Amino acid sequence: MAWPKTSTRKYVITLAKIVRQIDALSAVIQAVSKATGCKVYSDEVLEKFKKPCFFVSASSRMTPYTDNVVEKELTIALTYFPRDNEKNEITYLGIVDLIQRLFQSGVQVGDRYLHVESVEDDRTGEEQDILQVTIVIPFLEQVEKPAGGNVEIMGEVELNIHTISNKQRRTAEDEKWNSKIDSGTI
């Protein structure tokens, strides 16, 4: 006797499109600039910068995850310089709160939404009057295969998953997988 089928689910797997780190950094810069009205400098300007402002820097890490996917982590450091008369805890916490709200779950980068793993703040400078906020954005993306390389691309895979009742014995017929993954779903 076969188990009665209680539901059938079809899964479509879409590999993550490639995200350029500069696009993620630009999305963060735009969001911070728009929300605060402050200039965000990407290069270190040692003199004559207008306060309040942010300076931004980034570092990244890439680790192979599978043959077709890499794990990346983009760490963005936002350094905030307040006006001289606004060097106080209220100003710093206001900026931290604003940045945490902006990126509390992630950031839109093109047609992808990247989740934020953490937003951390610290103080730096001789007088501890410079705020530094670090945003960590991990994400997975598809590996770019070289054109004309010796890499074989999978054409199509079918996968059906049947959920069965556990009240009766399982038979081989109940263990079916069928779904479709092809260039149209990737």
The 10s digit of each residue's pLDDT in 131-150 is 999 999 999 888 877 666 56
Q: What is the pTM of this model?
A: 0.70
Same-domain pairing of 61 and 72: yes
pLDDT, tens digit (0-9, with 9 covering 90-100), for 7-33: 555 544 555 578 889 999 999 999 999
The reported pLDDT for the residue numbered 45 is 72
* DSSP code string of 99-119: HHHHTSSEEEETTEEEEP-EE
Per-residue exposure over 104-126, b if at least 16 CB sit within 10 Å of its own CB, e if not? eeebebeebebebeebebeeeee
Q: Which amino acid is at 163?
A: T
User: Looking at the predicted structure, is the pLDDT value of residue 83 above 90?
Assistant: yes
- 102 and 171 in a common domain: no
Domain hosting residue 137, numbered range: 21-142
Residue 43 sits in the same domain as residue 60: yes
Instruction: Give how far Cα 115 sits from Cα of 26, 62, 73, 98, 104, Å.
Output: 16, 16, 11, 17, 9
Q: How many domains does the chain have?
A: 2
